Amino acid sequence: MPKEKNIAPRYQQMDFSEQLKNNELVTVVSPADENALWINQDATLSLGHLAAGTSTFYRSASGGENLIYAFLIKGMAEINGTTLDERDAVGLEGIKKLPIEIVTDSTLLIIEIPKIY
């Protein structure tokens, strides 16, 4: 759902290749982060190319109010205690700080969206 209706279409491109080399999650789409692609929705997308043995956290943009969907594009990782293999995903809610343990070199996409009931 768009935050605001009837606005002019917008197109952007950004190069995140340098940030993605840093072995951390990078916010790539956000309605509020000027270093990310803008979106007219309450959604945040973060991407990371993470090396085996990396331990990190994803901090919720909403303080745990939103839903979090973690999709492991490639590799193997443990997300909040659940082991994911390539192309596995897990949906979570009520998480402020999501623990991530990378087992093998991995690419991870995290999507955070509001609960809509």
Binned at pLDDT 50, 70 and 90, residue 61 comes out as confident
Q: Which residue has the higher pLDDT, 112 or 4?
A: 112
Q: Is the pLDDT at 44 greater than 80, yes or no?
A: yes
In sequence order, what are the residues at sequence separation of 6 or more whose Cβ sits closer than 8 angstroms to the Cβ of residue 50?
23, 24, 25, 56, 75, 77, 100, 102, 105, 106, 107, 108
Binned at pLDDT 50, 70 and 90, residue 2 comes out as low
| Domains with residue ranges and CATH for the chain | 24-113 (2.60.120.10)
Residue 61: strand, helix, or coil:
coil
pLDDT of residue 7: 79
pLDDT of residue 117: 67
